[in-house]
Amino acid sequence: MDELAKADPRSMALASTLMPLAGNATSAPARSQADLLAEAARRAPDDVLVQWLAALLAPADATLSPAARALLRLEPGNGAAWMFDLQASANANDADGVTEALRRIGAAARFDTHFADVALAWEAIHEAHPAPPPTGNPAGFQIDEQPLIRGIASAAAVAMPALQSLLRACSPGNAPLGGERRKACIAAGRLMVDHSTEQASMAIGTSILEKADAPDRETARRTFDYLQQTYVSAFEFLQTDEAAYRQFAADWRETRSEPAVIGRLFRRAGLPMKPPADWKPLSTESVALRDSSLGR
């Protein structure tokens, strides 16, 4: 980590994610992480990935961090960049601000949490600094030793934006959700379902449509469950087929989008992108068990 911290701003920001997230802002780890992020953000004011990581790891309060403001300047059309504004409004108990942030999310062109960008940045680091294989591993292709898989695992360990705050903002409570808040929630949910760059955001978008009682909520839920469960099944053969894995890795680098990677994987396997009429979802317990194979 010391080597990363002395390198370029992206490496500095990535190194900061390896530091423990401290609840006490006066602790040494918190100061070290904050200092490293601040230096990275200062040196790369127009690097979206650096500013994204700095915004993710900034303390959550009722004001926007400098990195979050930079993201709105750099990516005004990215709905995920407005998540920080929503969180700040929620922390300030500003109901109108929350609704406006939801409206901004719903009006955006895409919802990109930069999961693929973080994963691919870590892939490059793992390729440059390969770890020795665990003692006793069998010879030959091992998917867990591949730089991209390690990069995806590293990216998954980084805090995602507080997507649960979206669910809270769109929860009806004791009365049906209505008015401008409901319209804003439905718009945000549809953006996340249709234009997210990773599956976690699609899952939250699907739940928002359900909470807001959107007309297409049942179709959205059935489609998401089909895609997620079929993806887990389709992924299994990659774990022993090196050629198939190499194509999978190339898809990540070319598309930088998990749904796009899933689409290519399905097409090669001859699978439809929509659930067949006779498709039935697995039980919740089975889904949780199988999803664990992807580290999701």
pLDDT per position as a tens digit, 104-145: 999 999 999 999 999 999 999 988 888 777 666 666 778 888
- DSSP H or E segment with residue 79: none
Interatomic CA distance for residues 143 and 58, integer angstroms: 34
Using the Cα atoms of residue 81, residue 85, residue 91 and residue 97 in order, give the sign of their dihedral.
negative
Three-class DSSP labels, 96-141:
HHHHHHHHHHHCCCEECCCHHHHHHHHHHHHHHCCCCCCCCCCCCC
Interatomic CA distance for residues 134 and 86, integer angstroms: 43
Please work out, in degrees rounded to the nearest 5, the angle formed at the alpha carbon of residue 117 by the alpha carbons of 266 and 203.
55
pLDDT score for 184: 97
pLDDT score for 169: 94
Interatomic CA distance for residues 112 and 105, integer angstroms: 11
191: exposed, middle or buried (C-beta count within 10 Å: 0-12, 13-18, 19+)?
Answer: buried
Report the length, in residues, of the chain.
Answer: 296
139: left (phi over 0), alpha (psi -120 to 50) or beta: beta
pLDDT score for 186: 97
Interatomic CA distance for residues 156 and 152, integer angstroms: 6
80, 87, 89: which is closest to 58 by C-alpha? 87
Structure token digits, residue 84: 């920080």
Greatest pairwise CA separation for the chain in angstroms: 61
Please work out, in degrees rounded to the nearest 5, the angle formed at the alpha carbon of residue 111 by the alpha carbons of 105 and 117.
145
Interatomic CA distance for residues 177 and 165, integer angstroms: 16
5 vs 11, 12, 67, 130, 203, CA distance in Å?
6, 4, 19, 18, 34
The residues, any chain, with a CB within 8 Å of residue 34's CB and separated by 6 or more, are 25
Give SS3 for 82.
Answer: helix
Q: What is the DSSP string of 136-188?
A: TPPSS--GGGSHHHHHHHHHHHSPPP-THHHHHHT--TTS---HHHHHHHHHH
The one-letter amino acid code at 169 reads A
pLDDT < 70 regions, the chain: 1-6, 20-31, 134-139, 159, 174-175, 283-296
pLDDT score for 95: 93
Structure token digits, residue 30: 């918190």
